[in-house]
Chains A and B, each alone.
Chain A
Amino acid sequence: MDRLAEPARPLVLENARIVDPAQKLDARGSVIVVDGRIVAAGPGAAAQSKPEGAEIVDCRGAVVMPGLIDMRVFVGEPGGEHRETFASAGQAAAAGGVTTIVTMPDTDPVIDDVALVDFIARRARDTAKVRVLPMAALTKGLEGREMTEFGLLKGAGAVGFTDGRHSITNALVLRRALTYARDFGALIMHHPADPDLTGSGVMNEGETATRLGLSGIPKEAEIIMLERDVRLAALTRGRYHAAQISCAESLAVIRRAKKDGLAVSCGVSVTHLTLNERDIGPYRTFFRLSPPLRSEDDRQAMMEGVADGSIDVIVSSHDPQDVDTKRHPFAEAADGAVGLETLLAASLRLVHNGDADLLALARALSTRPAELLGLDTGRLTAGAPADLIVVDIGMPWICDADRLHSRSKNTPFEGARFEGRVLRTIVAGRTVYAYAGD
């Protein structure tokens, strides 16, 4: 997204249902955008005079909410451009209502150096339709040994530090990282999965794995490491974010940590809110994820966690994989699924099924990620950048993998029926996507 472009034309979205968790607002009204920033949003804005030359959009009751901020996105650039580029990820994001993607450092080369953070910032600015904010590696080369230059990397634009899909097995390394990061107010994001307990496992351990003859990953691989991490967060008073949790016991660990007043937060992927291990069915590799899909009880727990705010954010965990890594027997295929374009629609199932309200959902998809990352987006308050989306939350559609904008088509939602379609995606006041019919 090129911020050096000419200022956008003023914009008025009227006759909308305004949903803004930052103001606890869910009401009819308008949004006025001038110079890429929100001037007013809510019932009061409807009465204000419209700026001269503004584009007026009648939303006809559609929802206007802050654009999604997806905190866990694997892109592929640099090194895996055949899977996804910033340009294709940006298109997928725009079509899915995601206005900011936070990229993971697991690329080739690994993003562990100031020059590489700078490369991403420039490359994304030139080619992506939405905002791209890189997280840098927590340890050099993602090797889990030496921490990276948190201060310099943060200065270059890294919004957090993570080893992506890798876990830090050495507790001392994580302790030091949490301690040192505190001096810079930096967020440490970790994927808690004990590699030894995970072993050769490829799906959730239990009856389904036993029937399929696949080796299982016990929940304890996640729980034990998460418990360790929370202890380290208590010891260091650092800011710790579990990238994704997947089971009820992990949720209990997070709830306890929050009750104890620790700076601990966590995410869940939308797949773990909407699918369970049984969806793997006949060895469908697009359902092979890390952490693995768990039981239905765990899925229910994840939904409760989102509804009551114990789980801070919902992520897509967008992980493009092409045929050469997915068209294999289940045990030999790669983990991961694309998700930028289905993040909102799949999340809306919670609203349609009465498991969460729209405010809770918008908070987990936008407001809370912005708070954790220290961004001024994720809200519709006056003065905030105009990153927002117009959504018809009732519009039905069927997911067709071939029509996804992502360069890779490994979606677990092929053929899924969704309700909720993005009509318009606006970044810094500029429309980057407009729905043009199926």
Chain B
Amino acid sequence: MTKLNIPVAASPAAVFAHRHLLGIEGLLPEEILVLLDLAEEAVEVSRQVEKKKSVLRGRTQINLFFEASTRTQSSFELAGKRLGADVMNMSVGSSSVKKGETLIDTAMTLNAMNPDILVVRHHAAGAVQLLAQKVGCSVINAGDGAHEHPTQALLDALTIRRHKGDIGQLKVAICGDILHSRVARSNILLLNALGAQVRCIGPSTLLPKALDRLGVTIFTDMREGLKDVDIVMMLRLQRERMDGSFVPSVREYFHFFGLDAEKLAFAKPDALVMHPGPMNRGVEIDSAIADGPQSLIREQVEMGVAVRMAVLEALAQNLPNA
């Protein structure tokens, strides 16, 4: 990789003075850069044979997933373990909800086990914030409804920065099911904070109301929207979250919004393609593109672990008795 001119946090020791990471909203650009710099170090650690650091030694991290997720949960688990934490995974299906326990009851139960860090995914927007108000430990949002997924946006930013340098100089297109996507919201906030030009492309039925007020340019034509962009972020068509019909068929969706070579050709020749996974191949992305030379999709997974290590480390500095 060529040496790039990458803006970094003014002072590497700059403090990340938050107790929780609930979203990208509320983070200063400076704080985002602190996390990205920490993540760069974590990438190095993770590529060594000895992958361990000890900043979380003796600490307990609970991964509380109300919604199943293999990749995010294992990414957080690995990140915690690499930093020396004792990591426990709890998958709270709908069963305890059916038994009548509220989210807050669950939170209080867990709180009694004295964890230091709670990583939470929940299907309802705002649920992680609600939980954070009720527990005594640090809370990381691993995705709440259609609200935010901050570590995904951070790992996307890290991946982009390692290839393209200053994010503020880039045109980024976020494509597909914006309506149901917390990844899109966190990315819009983060990319805007760092000064990128953000576009959203999708059928009007999958674009939330007043999206333009979030500081993005909206396109409903993929070719037009991809023109001259540096980064193409594809989103998963979240068919499981849809009540009713938003697009008539997968076939029609792929025809107009699936990323294939022909559409990608409208972006810059060196444009890079990303996807938060899991992918619906042949729905929003053609396999040839997903596995092709412009794809960063596998690298995103590696950066995911690094970014989560960075977030855990940053929050660890603010834990009591740290």
Which residues from chain A sit less than 8 Å from chain B, CB to CB?
199-200, 205-207, 209-216, 218, 282-283, 324, 327-332
Contact A283 B210 (CB under 8 A): no
Residues 205-219 of chain B, each 1 if its beta carbon lies under 8 Å from chain A, else 0: 000111101100000
Which residues of A sit under 8 angstroms from B126, Cβ to Cβ?
212-214, 282-283, 329-331
Minimum CB–CB distance from A7 to chain B (whole Å) comes to 51
Q: Which of B122, B210, B214, B243 contacts A329 (CB 8 A)?
A: B122
When the two chains form the complex, which single residue of A206, A213, A218, A327 contacts B145, counting CB atoms closer than 8 Å? A213
B110 at the interface (CB under 8 A from A): no
Partner of B210, one of A210, A282, A332: A210
Say yes or no: is B148 at the interface (Cβ < 8 Å to chain A).
yes
B136-158 vs A, CB cutoff 8 Å, 1 = contact: the mask equals 00000000111110000000000
Contact A210 B208 (CB under 8 A): yes
B104 contacts A327, CB within 8 Å? yes
B125 touches A329 (CB 8 A): yes
Check if B9 is an interface residue, CB within 8 A of chain A: no
How many chain B residues touch A (CB < 8 A): the figure is 26
CA distance A283 to B243 in the complex (A): 22
- 20 contacts across the A-B interface (CB closer than 8 A): A199-B243, A207-B213, A210-B211, A213-B126, A213-B147, A213-B185, A214-B126, A216-B208, A218-B209, A283-B126, A283-B129, A327-B104, A328-B102, A328-B124, A329-B122, A329-B126, A329-B127, A329-B130, A329-B144, A330-B125
The answer to whether A205 touches B148 (Cβ under 8 A) is no
Interface of A is mostly: loop
Question: Does A206 contact B210, Cβ atoms closer than 8 Å?
Answer: yes
Q: How near does chain B come to A277, taking the closest CB pair, in angstroms?
A: 12
A329 to chain B, nearest CB (A): 3
* Structural contact, B144 and A213, CB atoms closer than 8 A: yes
8 A Cβ contacts from B92-107 to A: 102-104
B209 touches A207 (CB 8 A): yes
Bound-state Cα–Cα, A216 to B185, Å: 16
Closest partner residue, chain A, to B148 (CB atom):
A213
Contacts of A328 in B (CB 8 A): 102-103, 124, 130
Besides A205-B209, A211-B185, A282-B129, 8 new A-B residue pairs in contact (Cβ under 8 A), listed by A number = A207-B213, A212-B147, A213-B147, A282-B126, A283-B126, A327-B103, A328-B130, A329-B144
Instruction: Give A331 to B241 CA distance when docked, in angstroms.
Output: 14
Write out the residue numbers on chain A whose beta carbons fall within 8 Å of the beta carbon of B122. 329
> Which of B104, B148, B209 has a CB less than 8 Å from the CB of A209?
B209
Check if B171 is an interface residue, CB within 8 A of chain A.
no
B209 cross-chain contacts in A, Cβ below 8 A: 205-207, 209-210, 216, 218
Q: Does B278 contact A (CB under 8 A)?
A: no
B182, CB-defined interface residue at 8 Å: yes
Which residue of the partner chain B has the closest CB to A205?
B209
CB distance from A258 to the nearest CB of B (A): 31
In the complex, A307→B225 CA distance in Å? 48
Let me know if B58 is at the binding interface, CB within 8 A: no
Q: Judge if B244 is at the interface, Cβ distance under 8 Å.
A: yes
Residue of B147, B185, B213, B244 touching A199 (CB-CB under 8 A): B244
